[in-house]
Amino acid sequence: MVSGMTKIMSTFLFKSNFLTLSFSDWTFFIVFAVLFVAAIIFYILKRVNRRRNVVVARLFGKMFSGFLTTAVLGGIWVGLRYLTIPYIGIRLVAVLALAGFFIWFFFVLKYLVKNFSEENKNFKEQSLREKYLR
């Protein structure tokens, strides 16, 4: 016997509504749009910090690529959902895209905690050394 929650989840994840986009579809659309705006912000920050601090610019570049990839995948999903494509337009695809984003974000946070401060310190020492050698 299938429990009620499993039935709701499977219906939610695998069913495609052929009439209109539901509230959850619009919620996914808003989440992906926010990720796209964040990607643009990280791109601008990357361009601004490119000359000042290469390590910070590299971090912003990693953030930009992950946010943009997820936003583009989500945008494609929203378009497929709007066109009611049966198998690719299911909500499971959006959930998988967001799960991939969170896995990617975990690795960026791991880099931020473990390696970023040391690389930034080494870069500042090297730039200070080069400043006095000129």
Query: What is the residue extent of each domain of the chain?
Result: 19-133
| Pairwise pLDDT comparison (5 vs 95), residue with the higher score | 95
- 116 by Cβ neighbours in 10 Å (0-12 / 13-18 / 19+) ranks as middle
Return the percentage of the chain with pLDDT > 90, whole number.
37
- 42 by Cβ neighbours in 10 Å (0-12 / 13-18 / 19+) ranks as buried
Q: Is the pLDDT of residue 1 over 50?
A: no
Confidence band of 13 (pLDDT split at 50, 70, 90): low
HSE-up of residue 44 (Cα within 13 Å, Cβ side):
6
Distances (CA, A) of 54 to 2, 72, 123, 127, 130: 54, 26, 8, 10, 15
Q: What is the pTM of this model?
A: 0.78
Mean pLDDT of 59-83: 91
